[in-house]
Structures are given as structure tokens and as C-alpha cells.
Amino acid sequence: MGENVDFRRWDELIPDALGLIFKNLPLQEILTVVPGVCKLWRKAVTGPYCWQDIDIEQWSQQCRPETLDRMLQMLITRSSGSLRKLCITGLSNDQSFSLIADNAKSLQTLRLPRSEISDSIVEQVAGRLFSVTFLDVSYCRNIGAPALEAIGKNCKLLMGLRRTMHPLEVIDKLSQDDEAFAIATTMPKLKQLEVAYLLISTEAVLKILENCPELELLDVRGCWNVKLDENCIKKFTRLKVVGPHVVDYFGMKGCDDCSNYSGSSGYLAWDFVAGNVGSDYDDEISDGDWEDDQSMEDVEMRFYDGFDLDNAAFDWPLSP
């Protein structure tokens, strides 16, 4: 214990080093607490190292569309082209998706569930998403086979796709086999595919299995028209299948929520997946809910009062 240890003072660390430290904090603290400590810390959280991985999925479920658009623009600007992961719910327009694509040169994981994006915008900007390896477009009601085909043709590194729907969102459709065929013909490197509750047929699933030889996980829960036999599945030795029978509830968010899945399905001989599936391809980082002394309204008010679109800086005071 008598050894002299040279500890570096926090105020002597360069902003990039501080940014790597601060990015492990919850989002709210990075945005509302850290900038108010000192100028050096404020400089650190406006740099790109805090914003290589942006996960505002839970927060975006509770905010107004205009607030979400402003927050997204600010955080992407701060990432300075180094964005590797973006998780956000409920994009309200095509312009926001185009903004993401314009800054996607390093983007690998993109989660956009419940977003109001269209086939046309996906077809226009898919070429800029060339580095994406995992994509979540679950519950995106306004896209279909044209968007998936554009993604498959341009995202050559894609290994994971989540295209889960809610049963009530497909109730007016006769078939979504065109989406399955788009996946089969353009995404040969897929290892993880979640298409729960899509209205697809056995033929469409077999086409996917035939054209995606590296597939390791297939989620077809709620795809009631899919009838696969054990002999068919045995040909794919690495493949694990979930569904089509469902034993819990239909509001699950893909295979991240299948820890309650049991072997009561009609396909007992298959090698089913239990637990937290797909973590190798979609590593979640959750900031949790903002439930401290500050209400969501207070956070949004701070955001509006402190955010300057011209210089992307904060003028938020230190939280008490």
C-alpha cells in the first residue's frame, strides 16, 4: 500500500476519453446532468464518442413526434458520422429516416419499430445503409415487399432481420408471401429472421430456408398457415425454430421476449429456443425509464429551452 500511484485528475482527461466514460451513463444524465458540471464535461458530451451507440427506444415511446425529431437530429449531429447503433421507436415521417440514412456510413444496428416510413423512402435511401448488419422494422405498417427487396439488394452485410407484426395490423391482408419471397431472394446471409404473425405460407418459408443457408434462428410464431414437418427441419442442422404455435401472449417484441416459451408446441422434436434469443446479433443497451424526480414533461421542457439547433449545444442547469 506504500506504492505511489499516479492518479490522473478528471479535469485533465481529454474530452474524447471523458466521452468514452460518459457514454455508459443513462441517457438522461448525459443530457441533463453532465453538461452542467463544467465546460470540459459539456464539451465531452457534445463530441461523437458519447453518441456512437444511441438507444432512445423507451424514451421515444413517450414523447411527442416533434420532440423526437429534434432529439434525433441533435444526437445524429453529435455523432459526427461515427454512429454504429440506433434504436428508436415511432419515427413519424420519411424525412427522419432519410436523415438517418445520410449519416449511416458506420451504422451496423438499426431498430425502427412502429415507424411511419414508406416503401418509397426506403427504396430511395437503402443504398446508404450498406453497413447495416441488423435491422428491426417490426410493426411498420406502411412498408412491404418493395422496401424489403430494396434493403436486401443494398444491405449485403445483413445478418439479422426483425419483421414482427401485430395480428390486428395484418387482419385486412390476404397474404404477405411477397415479403417472404423478397427476403428469400435478396438476403442470403441472414442468420436471424423474425417474422412472427406475418401472413405467410409454408411454401414461402421453405423458399427462405432454401435461399438462406446460414440461417440459425427462425421465428414464425403466429404464422398459422405454416406447416413444417420434422424431416424438413432436420435438413438444416444449425437451424432453431420458434413457432408457429404461441403459448403466451401476442404482444411480444420478437424473440427478446420468448423466455416464457415452452415445449408445448406441436413440434416437440424441433430444437426450440428459450431465453434471450438473438443477443449475438442485436446487443441491447437499455437506459431504462426516466422515473426519478424529473417528470418527462420537465425533461422535454429542458430540451426545448436548452437546445440550440444552430450550434447543437445545451444550456441546461445542473439537476438538483
Most confident of 17-31, 66-80, 111-125: 111-125
Q: Hunting for cell 468514452 — which residue is that?
A: 20
pLDDT digits (tens, 9 = 90+) for 257-281: 333 332 323 332 233 333 333 444 4
- pLDDT range class, residue 3, cuts 50, 70, 90: low
- Per-residue model confidence (pLDDT) at position 11: 61
Q: How far is the C-alpha of 180 from the C-alpha of 259, rounded, in Å?
A: 26
Q: What is the pLDDT of residue 237?
A: 78
Written as nine digits, the cell of 97 is: 429516416
pLDDT digits (tens, 9 = 90+) for 139-181: 999 999 999 999 999 999 999 999 998 877 777 778 889 999 9
User: Which set of grid coordinates corresponds to residue 185?
Assistant: 431472394
9 CB contacts (<8 Å, ≥6 apart)? none
**Cα(110)–Cα(97) distance, integer angstroms:** 11
Mean pLDDT of the chain: 76
pLDDT-derived band at 192, boundaries 50, 70, 90: very high
Res 247: pLDDT: 56
Q: Where are the domains of the chain?
A: 8-49, 50-242
**Beta pairing, strands 53-55 & 192-194:** unpaired
Length of the chain: 320
Neighbours of 22 (CB within 10 A): 20
Find, among 3, 2, 12, 80, the residue nearest to 47 by Cα.
Answer: 80
Domain 50-242: which topology? 3.80.10
Q: Is the pLDDT of residue 246 over 80?
A: no
Residue 296 pLDDT exceeds 60: no
